[in-house]
Amino acid sequence: MKRIAVFTSGGDAPGMNAHIRAVERVGEKRGLEVIGIIGGYSGMIAGHFEVLDRIRTANIIDRGGTVLKTSRCEEFLYPQGREAAARELKAHGIDGVIACGGDGTFRGAHALCLEHHIPIVGTPGTIDNDLSGTDYTIGYDTAVNTATEAIDKIRDTADSHGRLFFIEVMGRHAGFIAMDVGIASGAEFIAVPETITDVEVLYQRVLAQGLDKRTIVIVGEGDELGGATMLSNLINERYGLEARVAILGHIQRGGSPTVRDRVLGSRLGAAAVDALLEGHTDVMVGDMAGAITHVSLEQTWTFRKPVPPVIVELSSLLV
Ligand code: F6P
């Protein structure tokens, strides 16, 4: 293996730059040439490749987003798109690829591996933390800290007015962000897709807190009843309660990465280079209980990683 490529794909996540930097530096130490693919799978198909070196990857460790850019690429869902991408990889003499992203990225990588026999190692890069085979994903820690900081500010105004707030956080199919920020911000109720949200129980919580008091309800965007607006409307229609809604949105994806995300991104970058050199392919490198793991890409999305039951229990003990 002489030349490897790295790219970021799907939703960007803080820590991706630390990851790119680590891939370049460790690759160089191992005698490899490292290529960056610009713009995720779209860039792969279009042949947007650039040589990475120490200068290109200097001064990026503290930056949010991804210097390699990213995309959600419709074309890659089809065999023709993947064929075009494989052609470009081969034309550029790429011997192995490191794909940093979430389940959509890994589905694409898995198909590319199967159809075109290109060695690919995935690394978990998503704020959602919803990939099986790793305790944490790159970007999650920064996202929960950003969300908590924002909620602390909302709490000030909620407290001053004695208002009920529904605050929506990201997590398309998983409640990791909602659970952790709910606990960290002392929320009165947390609605996540993993548990059934009972509106009557929610109403009783609001009553117990006191209708003239601040009440914070954290809603994971993937909750089965819908997002914060939906829950607020439901509680208004059924019980006549007035509430304010705040959707934190993409603010959660930006910002300078925390130490944890910089270290995780770096660690998994180094592990991914070594995994390729050791002949691993169609796997994701992760970190479980402090040890580097290799799990098949398919496993990362077929096994649903549960929100730790102790965390769910803790959240109900604290309200
Ligand atoms: O990257 C994951 C994620 O942030 C989800 O939490 C969210 O549902 C989705 O991406 C939003 O994606 P987009 O930025 O493409 O709208």
Q: Which residue spans of the chain are classified as CATH 3.40.50.460?
A: 141-253
Beta pairing, strands 49-51 & 33-37: antiparallel
Q: Which residue spans of the chain are classified as CATH 3.40.50.450?
A: 3-139+257-302
Position 79: which residue type? Answer: P
CB 80 within 8 A of CB 102: no
User: What are 3-12's pLDDT values in tens digits?
Assistant: 999 999 999 9
CB 256 within 8 A of CB 14: yes
Distance, in Å, from the CA atom of 84 to the CA atom of 47, rounded to the nearest integer, reads 9
User: What are 288-307's pLDDT values in tens digits?
Assistant: 999 999 999 999 999 999 99
CATH of domain 3-139+257-302: 3.40.50.450
Asked if CATH classification 3.10.510.20 holds for the domain at 141-253, the reply, yes or no, is no
pTM, two decimals, is: 0.97
- Is the shortest distance between the CB of 56 and ligand 1 below 6 Å? no
For residue 315, how many C-alpha atoms fall within 13 Å in the half-sphere facing its CB? 25
Burial 180-218 (b: 16+ CB within 10 A, else e): bbbbbbebbbbbbbbbebeeeebbeebeebeeeebbbbb
Position 10: which residue type? Answer: G
Distance, in Å, from the CA atom of 216 to the CA atom of 231, rounded to the nearest integer, reads 13
- Is the shortest distance between the CB of 168 and ligand 1 below 6 Å? no
Statement: residue 130 has pLDDT above 90: yes
Pocket of ligand 1, candidates 12, 72, 128: which has the most ligand atoms within 8 Å of its Cβ, to mutate?
128
Q: What was the pLDDT predicted at 319?
A: 81
Choose the catalytic residue: 12, 128, 130, 261. Answer: 128
